[in-house]
C-alpha cells in the first residue's frame, strides 16, 4: 500500500487525532522516510527548537538554560503490517468509538504523538527538553537509529533523565532486565543405532542440562525498590542426523533474563555455575538497566504521575540510556501486550492522559 | 564414470576374480540393469536352471525333486560411490595383494559371486537350490526387489531354509533384531521469554523423556540359543522457534532395536510403558526374525560351517523370509563394519572360504 506523505501534522489539536494521522503514514522498519519528513517539518515549523535530521532520525531540543534536561524518546518505525485479512492493526487506521486501531497504535505512535504535542504546547517548559524520534527500532539492535545517535551525536544524549514513550498503560516502568543467550553443546560418538553400544548418545548427554533448567527456580530481585522477576529457559534444542544413527552432537540454546543488579559478567557466571560441566558459549548479551528512581528528576516525575512504578521485564532502549549514565524509564500510552498484534489498538483517552501527565510535570 | 556391460562372467574360475568382475559393473541402486543383464545371461548360458527376470531382479532354480529346498539370496545394488577423492571403495575395483577394493566389495558382491559360482559348479546339489539376485536393497525398503518377488512370485520364496549372503565374516548370523521408531511430543504454551512465567516450556517438558532414555538399561535376550542385545535411543530432537520465545512444542525421535522374542505389539508396549505419560506415535516398524536354528536344514548348515553362530543386530532381509515362514540366516564373506565405507574391501580368501563351505554342504 502506498500512502502519500502527510505534509502537515496538526500538533495543537487532539493528540489522539494526531496519533491517527501518524498511523496513516506507513512506516514499517526501513520505510521511515515519509514519517520522518512529516515530523521534521512539523518541528521546524514551530520555529523555537534546534532541529537535526540524521537519516530517518529527527532530534529537536529547547535551549532555555534550565538546570535540568529531560529526554523524551520514541521510535518512528513499526513491525510489518498484519498478514491476516481483516486485521485492524494495519494502515490506514480506523476508529471504533474512542478506540484507535492501526499498526503502531500501541507501539508506539501514541507516544510519538505525545512527544510532538509537548514540543508544540510547551513554550516554556520547567526543564530543557530533548525530543528524539528514531528509526529502525523493531529490527536488529545494530541498526537502531538511537544507537547511531549515541555514536554520532553523543552530546544530544546528555541529560539528567530520559523517558521512553513505549507503551506501559500509563504507569512508570523503571529500568529493565538484561538478556543473555548461550549455546550449550554436548558431543558423543556416532554409531549405527543397531549397534548403539559402539557409540555415545549426545542427546542423552543433554538430559542433565534440561533437568537443571527445568528444576531451576528463578529469583525475583529487588533493585531500588522494584522487584525484577528473572527467568532461565531452554528456547531451542536440536540434535541428531538420521533415524538410524546414534547422535554425536546436540545443542540447547538458553536464554537468561536477569535483574539489573547483575552486570554481564555476573549473569554469565551465574549460568556457568548452574550448568557446570557443560560446554557453554555466549552468543548474545545485553545488560539490563537499573531503574534510577532515586535520582531527583526521576523521583519528581514519578511523584507527578502519581502511580506506583513497576519494573520492566523486557529489554528496551532504556538500557541504552542507562549505559550512557542517564536514568531512564518507560512511560507511554497503550497496553504492551497488544504491541505487534494483528488488532493492535489504543484508547484515545490513554494518549490524552499521558500527554496531560507529562505537560503537568514539565509546565 | 561409464563402465561397459560385461557380457561374459567366468563362473568356473576363481570366485575372487569373479567378484572383481562384478565390482567393475557400477550398480548403485537404480542402476542395476547392466549387472542384472550379465547375471541373467551367465545363468541362462548354464542351460540347466529355470531362469526368470523381473525388472532388475534375476531368479534361477534347480528342479531336481530333492526333499528340501534352500534359497541363496543376495542384492545386486550398492550404495553410491565414495565422494572423497582417492577412496578405493569405488569403481573400478583394485587389488592390493590378496585384498580386493571396490564399491560393494563387502556389501555384497563377494556373496553374489559365491551364488553364481555355486550355480555353475553344483551340477547335482543335495538340496534343490533357488538363487535370487535382487535390486534396490540399499534404499527405501518399499523399493526392494525382494519385496516385489514376495508379492509377484510368492512360489519362488517357498523353501525350507534361506541363506542371505550379506557379509558376516564367514560366521553364521541368525535372525535379526526388530526396529521401531517413535516420535514423542511435548507441548507447552508460547510466551515472550522476558515474561517466561506466562508460558510453559515444552523443551523443559522433554527433560523427563531424555532422563528415562538415558537411565534405561537395555536388555540382552536369549532366543533359540543366541543372545540379542537390545538398544533404545533418542536419535533426533528438535524444539523451539526463536531465541526470545518460550517453546510450545518439542519432539524426540526414538529408535528401539528389540530382540526377536518380541513382536511389534510387544515392542511398542514396552516403550509406551517406559515413557508412560508422554504422547508417543509410532512412525516406522519392522519386526525382527527368530534365528530358526532349531530347524533341520538350518542345523545341518550350521554343523557344516562348523563355527559358532552369532546373533545379527541390524535389521536385514532375513526378516522378510522369517515373515514368510522360512527360517533364514546371514552368511557371507567380508566384515560388515566395512560396508558402505570409503575404502570398502574384502580378502580374496574370505570369498573362497565361503564358497567352499556352501559347496561342501550342498554337494
- The answer to whether the CB atoms of A237 and B206 lie below 8 A apart is yes
CB nearest A194 (choices: B194, B240, B315) = B315
Cα–Cα separations (whole angstroms), residue A326 to A16, A67, A141, A163, B133: 30, 15, 19, 10, 81
In this complex, is the C-beta atom of B39 within 8 Å of any C-beta atom belonging to chain A?
no
| Separation CA B98–CA B342 (nearest Å) | 19
Check: CB of residue A196 under 8 Å from CB of residue B231: yes
Contact residues on chain A for B250, CB-CB shorter than 8 A: 237
- The answer to whether the CB atoms of A240 and B241 lie below 8 A apart is no
Alpha carbon of A288: minimum distance to chain B alpha carbons (Å):
12
Contact residues on chain B for A253, CB-CB shorter than 8 A: 240, 243
Check: CB of residue A233 under 8 Å from CB of residue B193: yes
| Interface-testing mutation among B177, B181, B193, B286, with chain A (most A C-beta atoms within 10 A) | B193
Query: Which 80-139 residues of chain A touch chain B by CB within 8 A?
Result: none
Q: What is chain B's mean pLDDT, rounded?
A: 93
CB nearest B210 (choices: A193, A206, A257) = A206
Q: Report how many helices (DSSP H) and strands (DSSP E) chain A contains, helices first.
A: 10, 19
Question: Cell numbers at residue B263, please?
Answer: 513382536
- Cβ within 8 Å of residue A33, ≥6 positions away: A56
Predicted local confidence at residue B3, as pLDDT? 47
Kindly indicate whether the domain formed by A15-175+289-362 is annotated with CATH number 3.40.630.10: yes
Question: Cell numbers at residue A32, please?
Answer: 521511515
Is residue B14 over pLDDT 80? yes
B120 versus A342: the higher-pLDDT residue is B120
- Cβ within 8 Å of residue A57, ≥6 positions away: A36, A132, A133, A134, A135, A145, A146, A148, A149
What residue ranges do the domains of chain A occupy?
Answer: 15-175+289-362, 178-286
- The answer to whether the CB atoms of B313 and A195 lie below 8 A apart is yes
Write out the H or E segment, with its range, that includes residue B179: strand B178-187
Q: Annotated active-site positions of A, please?
A: 77, 137
In this complex, is the C-beta atom of A168 within 8 Å of any C-beta atom belonging to chain B?
no
DSSP string, A42-91: HHHHHSSSEEEEETTEEEEE-----S-EEEEEEE--BPPPP-STT-SSSS
Q: Single out the residue of A165, A174, A175 nearest to residue A334, CA to CA.
A: A165
Residue B77, CB-side half-sphere exposure with 13 Å CA sphere: 21
Rounded to the nearest 10°, the torsion over CA A63, A65, A67, A70 is: -10
- The answer to whether the CB atoms of A236 and B235 lie below 8 A apart is no
Reported as a single tens digit per residue, the pLDDT across A40-53 is 999 999 999 999 99
DSSP string, B54-112: ETTEEEEE-----S-EEEEEEE--BPPPP-STT-SSSSS-EEETTEEESTTIIIIIHHH
Predicted local confidence at residue A165, as pLDDT? 97
CB nearest B244 (choices: A211, A218, A255) = A255
Q: 3.30.70.360, 3.40.50.300, 3.10.310.40, 3.40.630.10: which CATH number matches B178-286?
A: 3.30.70.360
Signed CA dihedral, A86, A92, A94, A98: sign only: positive
CB nearest B238 (choices: A238, A245, A315) = A238
Question: Cell numbers at residue A3, please?
Answer: 500512502
Contact residues on chain B for A314, CB-CB shorter than 8 A: 192, 194-195
CB nearest A236 (choices: B181, B229, B247) = B247
Count of CB pairs separated by less than 8 Å, A with B: 154
- Cβ within 8 Å of residue A214, ≥6 positions away: B201, B204, B205, B207
Alpha carbon of B118: minimum distance to chain A alpha carbons (Å):
31
Query: Which 214-233 residues of chain B touch chain A by CB within 8 A?
Result: 214, 218, 229, 231, 233
- Residue A35 has phi, psi (to 5 degrees) of -70, -35
Predicted local confidence at residue B7, as pLDDT? 54
Predicted local confidence at residue A307, as pLDDT? 78
Q: Distance between alpha carbon A6 and the CA centroid of its chain, in Å?
A: 26
- The answer to whether the CB atoms of A214 and B229 lie below 8 A apart is no
Contact residues on chain A for B167, CB-CB shorter than 8 A: none
Residue of A nearest to B316 (CA): A194
Predicted local confidence at residue A187, as pLDDT? 95
Percent of chain B with pLDDT over 90: 77
Contact residues on chain B for A246, CB-CB shorter than 8 A: 233, 235
Predicted local confidence at residue A295, as pLDDT? 81
Partner residues linked to A253 by β-bridges: A183, A236
Angle at A152 between CA A68 and CA A58, to 5 degrees: 70
What number is the average pLDDT over the span B288-298? 85
Cell 536440536 identifies what position? A238
* Helix runs in chain B, H state only: 15-23, 33-46, 110-121, 145-152, 202-205, 207-215, 264-274, 296-305, 318-323, 348-362
Query: Which 232-271 residues of chain A touch chain B by CB within 8 A?
Result: 233-247, 250, 252-253, 255, 257
Is residue A2 over pLDDT 60? no
Check: CB of residue B161 under 8 Å from CB of residue B361: no
Q: Annotated active-site positions of B, please?
A: 77, 137
Predicted local confidence at residue A5, as pLDDT? 47
What number is the average pLDDT over the span A306-311? 87
Question: Cell numbers at residue A162, please?
Answer: 530520559
Check: CB of residue A239 under 8 Å from CB of residue B236: yes
DSSP string, B288-320: -B---TTSHHHHHHHHHH-SPPEE--S--THHH
pLDDT band at A142 (very low <50, low <70, confident <90, very high): confident
Residue of A nearest to B253 (CA): A243
| Separation CA A104–CA A78 (nearest Å) | 6
Alpha carbon of A16: minimum distance to chain B alpha carbons (Å):
29
Reported as a single tens digit per residue, the pLDDT across B78-135 is 999 988 889 999 999 999 999 999 999 999 999 999 999 999 999 999 999 999 999 9
What number is the average pLDDT over the span A231-252? 94
Alpha carbon of A15: minimum distance to chain B alpha carbons (Å):
31
- The answer to whether the CB atoms of B236 and A243 lie below 8 A apart is yes
Question: Cell numbers at residue B132, please?
Answer: 535370487
- The answer to whether the CB atoms of A194 and B313 lie below 8 A apart is yes
Predicted local confidence at residue A296, as pLDDT? 84
pLDDT band at B1 (very low <50, low <70, confident <90, very high): very low
| Separation CA B162–CA B159 (nearest Å) | 7
SS3 state of residue B125: coil
Alpha carbon of B105: minimum distance to chain A alpha carbons (Å):
20
Cα–Cα separations (whole angstroms), residue B171 to A257, A341, B53, B166, B309: 60, 67, 31, 11, 6
Cα–Cα separations (whole angstroms), residue A239 to A355, B225, B234: 52, 37, 9
In this complex, is the C-beta atom of B183 within 8 Å of any C-beta atom belonging to chain A?
no
Check: CB of residue A147 under 8 Å from CB of residue A55: no
Signed CA dihedral, B65, B69, B71, B72: sign only: negative
Beta strands B173-174 and B310-311 are parallel
Contact residues on chain B for A192, CB-CB shorter than 8 A: 314
Partner residues linked to B271 by β-bridges: none
pTM higher than 0.95 for the full model? no
Residue of B nearest to A241 (CA): B236
Question: Cell numbers at residue B79, please?
Answer: 550404495
| Separation CA A204–CA A20 (nearest Å) | 55
Is residue A337 over pLDDT 70? yes
- The answer to whether the CB atoms of B237 and A242 lie below 8 A apart is no
Reported as a single tens digit per residue, the pLDDT across A6-40 is 458 999 999 999 999 999 999 999 999 999 999 99
Reported as a single tens digit per residue, the pLDDT across B58-77 is 999 999 999 999 999 999 99
Contact residues on chain B for A252, CB-CB shorter than 8 A: 203
Beta strands A178-187 and A279-286 are antiparallel
Check: CB of residue B134 under 8 Å from CB of residue B144: yes
Contact residues on chain A for B193, CB-CB shorter than 8 A: 179, 231, 233, 235, 255, 257
Question: Cell numbers at residue B135, please?
Answer: 535390486
Cell 565374516 identifies what position? B169
Cell 541373467 identifies what position? B40
Question: Cell numbers at residue B185, please?
Answer: 511430543
Query: Which 48-87 residues of chain A touch chain B by CB within 8 A?
Result: none
Check: CB of residue A213 under 8 Å from CB of residue A232: yes
| Other beta carbons less than 10 A from residue B282's beta carbon | 16
Predicted local confidence at residue B314, as pLDDT? 80
Reported as a single tens digit per residue, the pLDDT across B149-204 is 999 999 999 999 999 999 999 899 998 899 999 999 999 998 888 889 989 999 99
| Separation CA B281–CA B289 (nearest Å) | 23
Amino acid at each position: 500500500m502506498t500512502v502519500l506523505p502527510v505534509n502537515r501534522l496538526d500538533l495543537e489539536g487532539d493528540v489522539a487525532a494526531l496519533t491517527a494521522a501518524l498511523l496513516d503514514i506507513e512506516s514499517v522498519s526501513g520505510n521511515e522516510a515519509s514519517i520522518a519528513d512529516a515530523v521534521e517539518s512539523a518541528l521546524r515549523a514551530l520555529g523555537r527548537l534546534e532541529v537535526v535530521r540524521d537519516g530517518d532520525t529527527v532530534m529537536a531540543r529547547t535551549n532555555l538554560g534550565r538546570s535540568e534536561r529531560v529526554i523524551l524518546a520514541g521510535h518512528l518505525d513499526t513491525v510489518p503490517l498484519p498478514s491476516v485479512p481483516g486485521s485492524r492493526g494495519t494502515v490506514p487506521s480506523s476508529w471504533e468509538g474512542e478506540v484507535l486501531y492501526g499498526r503502531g497504535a500501541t507501539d508506539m505512535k501514541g507516544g510519538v504523538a505525545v512527544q510532538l504535542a509537548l514540543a508544540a504546547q510547551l513554550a516554556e517548559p520547567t526543564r530543557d527538553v530533548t525530543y528524539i524520534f528514531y528509526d529502525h527500532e523493531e529490527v536488529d539492535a545494530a541498526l537502531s537509529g538511537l544507537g547511531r545517535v549515541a555514536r554520532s551525536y553523543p552530546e544530544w544524549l546528555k541529560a539528567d533523565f530520559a523517558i521512553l514513550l513505549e507503551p506501559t498503560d500509563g504507569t512508570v516502568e523503571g529500568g529493565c532486565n538484561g538478556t543473555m543467550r548461550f549455546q550449550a553443546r554436548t558431543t558423543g560418538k556416532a554409531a549405527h543405532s543397531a549397534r548403539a553400544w559402539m557409540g555415545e548418545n549426545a542427546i542423552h548427554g543433554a538430559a542433565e542440562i534440561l533437568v537443571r533448567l527445568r528444576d531451576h527456580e528463578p529469583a525475583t530481585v529487588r533493585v531500588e525498590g522494584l522487584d525484577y522477576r528473572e527467568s532461565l529457559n531452554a528456547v531451542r534444542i536440536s540434535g541428531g542426523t538420521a533415524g538410524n544413527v546414534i547422535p554425536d552432537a546436540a545443542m540447547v540454546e538458553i536464554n537468561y533474563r536477569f535483574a539489573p543488579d547483575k552486570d554481564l559478567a555476573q549473569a554469565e557466571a551465574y549460568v556457568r555455575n548452574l550448568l557446570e560441566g557443560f560446554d557453554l558459549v555466549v552468543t548474545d548479551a545485553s545488560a539490563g538497566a537499573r531503574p534510577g528512581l532515586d535520582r531527583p528528576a526521576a523521583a519528581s516525575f514519578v511523584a507527578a504521575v502519581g502511580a506506583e512504578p513497576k519494573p520492566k521485564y523486557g529489554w528496551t532502549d532504556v538500557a541504552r540510556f542507562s549505559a550512557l549514565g542517564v536514568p531512564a524509564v518507560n512511560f507511554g500510552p497503550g497496553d504492551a501486550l497488544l504491541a505487534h498484534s494483528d488488532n493492535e489498538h489504543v484508547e484515545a483517552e490513554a494518549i490524552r492522559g499521558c500527554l496531560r501527565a507529562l505537560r503537568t510535570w514539565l509546565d
